[in-house]
Structure 1
Amino acid sequence: MPIRIRQHVNPLARKFQSPIAIPDWQEIYQTGARPIHLDIGCGRGRFLLNLAQQNPEVNYLGIEIRRQLVDLANQERDHLGLTNLHYLFGNMNSSAKILLESLPENRLKTISIQFPDPWFKKKHNKRRVVQPELVTLLVDYLGSGGEIFLQSDIKEVAVEMRDRFAANSNLIQQHPDWLETNPLNVATERELYVLGQNLPVYRVLLAKSTT
């Protein structure tokens, strides 16, 4: 019988408030002295799976709030024998600080947040992943010159994400308008679906100042 996996979960529920279980990074990654790409809300992890195979010189880390997806993603990683990829179960809005503090210093070089749950009802907006407190922590721990890539097919969500990150004085938007193409050159499953429907995707790339 197929495993039933929920499409949406409430990140404010009590069961998602426990801190992320931090592994020993030296045991996780074959080579620790590499830049780290953090993907928040990685879903089934296929996006990172492709990137990790294309870029063995980068360590990839996916965070996902649905444990079953994390378990399945790590199984697929093991099947392929990838040593530069790991998936963690957890809620970034309750565990960002403990996770970011645990990462090797100055190794966090790229962050991506792609097609997060939109939570359309105004009373549910507080469930959206990109909250001001998370923005501050991510920018603080991002290495100098590091990049943050955001995308959504919901313009309201994309604008909110962009504006919250752009409000941080340490970040510089790398283009005046929405990006036409994905600069990472690997599409998520949601991105492929949206583009296949000939619908727009709203993308933005920001970089941390080097001064």
Structure 2
Amino acid sequence: MTSTARADELRSILRDRDETYERETHVRSSLSAINADAEWRALYDELKTLELELAGTPRRGFCLAYVKRKRRYCAYRARDGGTMCTLHRDLEESSDGGGDGDGGGGGGDADGAAAVCQAIERTTLASEGEATSTTLVNVTSGKKKNINRRMKKMTNPLAAPYQTPKTLDEAHWARVFGGSDALKRPLLVDIGTAKGGFIKALARERADACTRAKSIEYNLVGVEIYEPLVIAANAWVQTNRGSLKRRAHFVHCNANVSLKSLNLPNIRAICVQFPDPWSRARHVERRVMTPDFARTIADVLPSGGELYCCSDVRALAEEMYDVVAANDDFKLDEVTYKRIGEMAEPSESMPLENVPELDEAHKYEWKSLSDIKSEENVQPSSKRRWLRANPYDAHTERDIVCEGKIRPVYRFAVIRA
């Protein structure tokens, strides 16, 4: 009998057992009931072993977590610099002793992946019916997570309400961060933070990982132009204040207009992640990373301050790279590139026949800034160098979407000269 036929037979037997148990006890079957019957437990274990065998092995470069409910491996691409996707990252770090985000190279080699896969589902059922995995990579939760919800319409930053600079003072920041002494802590600012996933992660579950990666404990500020998202994010901070490891706050304004007037205290790092692409020629003025804004960032950052940018729209990432590279106040952060490593093109990191079909992030024809506005003097860089992973060891909501859609993210980091 084939494995598939035996699995079908076992499912039929187990369904009959479930129905019999419910008919006799008037209670739905459970793992506790399975544990109490040695024969039932043996049939259950045999089926789970067969389902894992029939699942095969995960595709190279994809998440190694086996999703028992779906009887297959996770369909998301492995996060940049890891062997599992962001949703299963905690399982990866638990199983490897608390990884630093530098392992695996988006899935590791084939032998390494096979070794992990062989160990994934050695599951024992505890006496009270709870499933625990000896390798901590067996996903048992049946809860579905809707990560694909997004803003349907981009906010026009040139609209009149967003042209007045927002001014904040030291008293405001002292009140936000809990006193003037707290302002001495270095500040990280995420521009265009959307729902604030990156700041929320750095404030709570990724706080210690970020501190290990950067050797800095940051205060955190998210800047977002769409006010309802800021209100919701600050409400989240208030609700979760007791569990936050870092101080966090969100501000509603247009960063291109207000970055200086916010008077951000002790700013040390600025992130511009996944900005709206505004690909068409008539919308070029709405792009975030312009030469003027690069100069503004250089003005507010101290010497050694960091700027990190990324996008899954390659043309936009390349333009941001070129705009920043054209500014003499910035130079590539070689320390971060050495620590994180550089991104390889899919065709360079694996055989061509194994390269997944990548999902395009933006369908419109791209109009470059240099083509539209020749006076900007933005020339294409001769060789762009992309980081392999996020240098702050955290993630945005968009990072998770990119993993689900098998979409690469182009990242770079510079420091203020």
TM-score, normalised to structure 1's length? 0.89
Task: Give 5+ residue unaligned stretches, structure 2.
Answer: 1-149, 212-216, 338-383
- Tell me, what secondary structure is at the counterpart of 1:186? coil
Residues 182-197 of structure 1 aligned to structure 2 (within 5 Å): 182-197=390-405
User: 1:123 offset after TM fit, Å?
Assistant: 1.3
Residues 114-125 of structure 1 aligned to structure 2 (within 5 Å): 114-125=273-284
User: Once the two structures are superposed, what CA deviation does each residue of 1:125-151 show, in whole Å capped at 9, x if it has no partner?
Assistant: 110111221111111211221111100
Structure 2 residue 177 is matched with structure 1 residue 29: yes
Supply the distance in 2 between the matched residues of 1:72 and 1:108 (Cα, whole angstroms). Answer: 24
User: Once the two structures are superposed, what CA deviation does each residue of 1:30-73 show, in whole Å capped at 9, x if it has no partner?
Assistant: 21110000110000012101102215831111110000000000
Supply the distance in 2 between the matched residues of 1:97 and 1:187 (Cα, whole angstroms). Answer: 26
Alpha-carbon contact 2:194-2:224 (below 8 Å) kept: yes
Supply the distance in 2 between the matched residues of 1:5 and 1:67 (Cα, whole angstroms). Answer: 13
User: Once the two structures are superposed, what CA deviation does each residue of 1:131-183 show, in whole Å capped at 9, x if it has no partner?
Assistant: 22111111121122111110000111101111111112121113461112111
Structure 2 residue 233 is matched with structure 1 residue 87: no
The structure with the larger Rg is: 2
Higher relative contact order (CA 8 A, sep 6+): 1
Note closer, same or farther for the CA distance 1:167–1:5 as it changes in structure 2 (3 Å cut).
Answer: closer
User: 1:5 offset after TM fit, Å?
Assistant: 6.1
| Matching residue within 260, 264, 269 for 1:103 | 264
Residue matched to 2:327: 168
Note closer, same or farther for the CA distance 1:117–1:22 as it changes in structure 2 (3 Å cut).
Answer: same
Task: Give 5+ residue unaligned stretches, structure 1.
Answer: none
Higher helix share: 2
- Tell me, what secondary structure is at the counterpart of 1:109? strand
RMSD over aligned CA atoms reads: 1.8
The list of structure 1 runs, each at least 4 consecutive aligned residues, that deviate by more than 3 angstroms after superposition, is: 4-7
Supply the distance in 2 between the matched residues of 1:11 and 1:67 (Cα, whole angstroms). Answer: 12
| Matching residue within 147, 159, 162 for 1:13 | 159
| Matching residue within 232, 239, 245 for 1:72 | 232
Note closer, same or farther for the CA distance 1:17–1:166 as it changes in structure 2 (3 Å cut).
Answer: same
- Tell me, what secondary structure is at the counterpart of 1:32? helix
Matched letter for residue 395 of structure 2: A
Supply the distance in 1 between the matched residues of 2:185 and 2:324 (Cα, whole angstroms). Answer: 25
Structure 2 residue 41 is matched with structure 1 residue 41: no
Supply the distance in 1 between the matched residues of 2:278 and 2:314 (Cα, whole angstroms). Answer: 13
Structure 2 residue 410 is matched with structure 1 residue 202: yes
Supply the distance in 1 between the matched residues of 2:306 and 2:158 (Cα, whole angstroms). Answer: 28
Alpha-carbon contact 2:167-2:258 (below 8 Å) kept: no
Alpha-carbon contact 1:195-1:201 (below 8 Å) kept: no
Residue matched to 1:151: 310
TM-score, normalised to structure 2's length? 0.46
Supply the distance in 2 between the matched residues of 1:48 and 1:6 (Cα, whole angstroms). Answer: 22
Alpha-carbon contact 1:96-1:134 (below 8 Å) kept: no
Matched letter for residue 103 of structure 1: L
- Tell me, what secondary structure is at the counterpart of 2:259? helix
Alpha-carbon contact 1:152-1:203 (below 8 Å) kept: yes
| Matching residue within 370, 388, 394 for 1:180 | 388
Alpha-carbon contact 1:40-1:112 (below 8 Å) kept: yes
- Tell me, what secondary structure is at the counterpart of 2:260? helix
Matched letter for residue 415 of structure 2: A
- State the identity as a percent: 37
The range that moved more, 61-70 or 159-168, is: 159-168
Supply the distance in 2 between the matched residues of 1:6 and 1:142 (Cα, whole angstroms). Answer: 33
